[in-house]
Structure 1
């Protein structure tokens, strides 16, 4: 695939100091390759399983993205890079079109259905009539 995304040396040199240290256990795959794969998936909108093999196993690419998301590493990295660049908005602009929502996230037909909870129903209806 000729249109794969690869981080340049300059881009990776900005990111590298903010990467987490390797924890004990199995040695991590090449960070540059995996991060390039994550960016490729987010930019192209393809499924994680369809990530080109040049970036490494698709499960590794997904697991790295997911684990770092849960630990807040991406947020920390974006905050640090934004503070470091603090230049023109074009330099620090982050495209949010990669945010994916489940097809049910928009609600069903007719919009949001508001139903009172069981506790609210019990408070609203008396148990006996005087």
Structure 2
């Protein structure tokens, strides 16, 4: 879908994500990450998250957890580094 992670981007980001969650299996990381990206892109309230992304509380909670444990920063650092490398090639 438009605005969601490509297979290539997912392959690069997946190793940055935690392997397990609090003793139980987590909802699919890619689905949750696409939910977070949808929310950031649209600015809509979490409660308006489309059903295809799963429960809004899951996405919101995962973003809070990933922010607290540094995972979100690792993702952002990767995105920034990738963007910088593309920009350098274009100049």
Q: What TM-score, normalized by structure 1, do the two folds share?
A: 0.59
For residue 73 of structure 1, report the CA deviation from its aligned partner.
1.1
Name the counterpart of 1:42.
40
Partner of 2:14, secondary structure, is helix
- For structure 1, the residue ranges without an aligned partner over 5 or more in a row are 92-130
RCO greater where, 1 or 2, for CA within 8 Å and sep 6 or more? 2
Name the counterpart of 1:30.
28
Structure with the higher helix share, 1 or 2: 2
Name the counterpart of 2:19.
21
For residue 87 of structure 1, report the CA deviation from its aligned partner.
1.1
Distance 1:18 1:74, change over 3 A: same
CA distance in 2, matches of 1:57, 1:69: 19
CA distance in 2, matches of 1:49, 1:19: 24
CA distance in 1, matches of 2:57, 2:40: 15
Contact 1:4 1:40 in 2 (8 A): no
CA distance in 2, matches of 1:8, 1:50: 23
CA distance in 2, matches of 1:26, 1:90: 43
Partner of 2:30, secondary structure, is helix
Name the counterpart of 1:96.
none
Q: Which runs of 4+ in 1 moved over 4 A?
A: none
For residue 24 of structure 1, report the CA deviation from its aligned partner.
4.5
Alignment RMSD: 2.3
Q: Is the radius of gyration larger for structure 1 or structure 2?
A: 1
